[in-house]
Structure 1
């Protein structure tokens, strides 16, 4: 590795992220309601365990354990500089005090000339063409010009875009997922119903709203993405984890006092079931609560549409080969 030796890299990796933060960023660590967990003062979606040092920045879907991971992925320090700093081989480099990101003005990514890749990606995920076309016409889904991401747009009551979630359309490797800087969680991606309704279904992610509509075939309710959920990991003591009302849901309910029924459509995994249980307890009494998780263990509704599409494609290939 140019500039550093293998021995220096090994030495740099010995310092954990929690040790680095306590030594150089003590004012930025904030204790959460969960036992043994901290978040950053300026990034509440960044969580780090004080015992294991494992950290995860949910809004950017990145994580790690070592101080080296943290410096490179979170603070943007170049690899060689980070290694030398952690090895104390570079006295001219002093880890800077944490500088909170400047609040960025929200702006939608420029649109591509067409939505070809977004259509191809979502169709292969089993999403109905009619559903995709309806979202494109409504201006809540399009393809970005730069990286050809699918852009899921959340709008306020005036039709102004206030939120956007990016999902990569490349099928190899782990898909890119991120919220656009400056997005307001109060206006997460939401599929409107046809006509009036007092029903609302909530999901963990935007693509799941499209998938469930595809499976059900009826736009008879609002379908709201929560923009992710906050829940303990499997094996983590659930009692040490405090449930927080989803900002997207709370804001939506305030804007729509006509809602009487909330259908919980979170993922059928440990976190999704935990969130569903606490959502039910939290809103029971004021709303009619319906739990409607995917039937298959470990799946979300986007998984189900993809599985159905792949089975149909396999049958068609088999029929053509006869």
Structure 2
């Protein structure tokens, strides 16, 4: 395998993606702080030309990953192409996310829940009642590998999606979707308001419910869904399932991918919904939860409660 110098790799990764995409003949449209690639559902390139995100496929990265995804090349060939030592073999065509799939089958259940319960409560700091509530709804269980299984259902309460999270606290920790899962059907918390809160992971969603309790909020009526990343298929489905929704509160991670996703969600949904944002103080809401628990144990002053005052959050316009 060719060993590229660090300078060559940096050169490839500094190629401007906007210019490269136009060279490929892709049709770009400026929307907000990025460019949308027409006919490629949810594919955006940042206005700097340094990064991209394909939300419908939950993929993204820099120039090398762009060539790998769009042209089906391995890493080495993608670098060659960007350096100009290999010609691009890109053929412009819409890419479908609807691939032919086999049947979806949930992982086998263990005969206990103890490892999942211990992991979520002790290691992740999630409230016991929150954990038991999802177990009672068959949205959470333990598989035979002692891992957490978070389940998403369709409107007939048929399981269509599941993500697995290892309960290991040492060594390798596995996380991933069950084969043939459909991300349109999210792990969710049913509410009664016209607002849906959107999270990247089930653990963040459960952490948020726990944080509400820490801040004395006893009545929380908003719907909550986990995207299983930053693709918006689950949000699209949930909004169609609940036409009464008129507000979307984005609770995505406080990192580059989360901020970029919020920009795209705002662009896509702002005409029909009021967009709001509650960003975690740390990287995500589980990190916030663990920080608060640690601070309380050390008798330190806890996070100001105003950040979790529901009415404040739902009345603030999202600033992007």
Q: Give the TM-score range, shorter chain.
A: 0.5 to 0.7
2:141 matched to 1:157?
no
TM-score normalised by L of structure 1: 0.60
RMSD: 5.0
Deviation of 1:43 after TM superposition, in Å, equals 4.0
The aligned residue for residue 135 of structure 2 is 136
Corresponding residue of 1:56: 53
**C-alpha deviations, 1:196-254, integer Å up to 9, x for none?**
xx4365322133432233344568746321637799xxxxxxxxxxxxxx525522423
Q: Corresponding residue for 2:305?
A: none
SS of the residue corresponding to residue 38 of structure 1 reads strand
Q: Deviations over 1:21-64 (max 9, x none)?
A: 3223x24x4526436512363341x3202543321344666543
Where structure 2 has 5 or more consecutive residues not aligned to the other structure, the ranges are: 300-320
Count matched residues: 277
Give per-residue Cα distances to partners, 1:85-139, cap 9 Å, x unaligned: 3445457xx5242562552437356357466665454322211233223323422
Distance 1:308 1:111, change over 3 A: farther
In the TM superposition, 1:87-98 aligns within 5 A as: 87-90=83-86, 95-97=89-91
Q: Residue 71 of structure 1 aligns with which residue?
A: 67
For residues 225-304 of structure 1, the aligned pairs below 5 Å read 225=225, 227=227, 246-254=235-243, 264=249, 266=251, 293=278, 301-304=285-288
Deviations 1:260-301 (A, max 9, x none): x9795746979699989x9999668xxxx9x8958x756764
CA distance in 1 between counterparts of 2:253 and 2:65 reads 31
**Aligned match of 1:308 in 292, 298, 302?**
292
**Gap change, CA 1:144 and 1:71, over 3 Å in 2:** farther
Specify the alignment match of 1:235 in structure 2. Answer: none
Structure 1 counterpart of 2:313: none
TM-score, reference length from structure 2: 0.60
CA distance in 2, matches of 1:182, 1:32: 33
The gaps in structure 1 that reach 5 residues or longer are 232-245, 316-322
Equivalent residue for 1:23? 23
- For 1:202, the equivalent position in structure 2 comes to 196
Residues 14/108 of structure 1: CA separation in 2 closer, same or farther (3 Å cut) = same
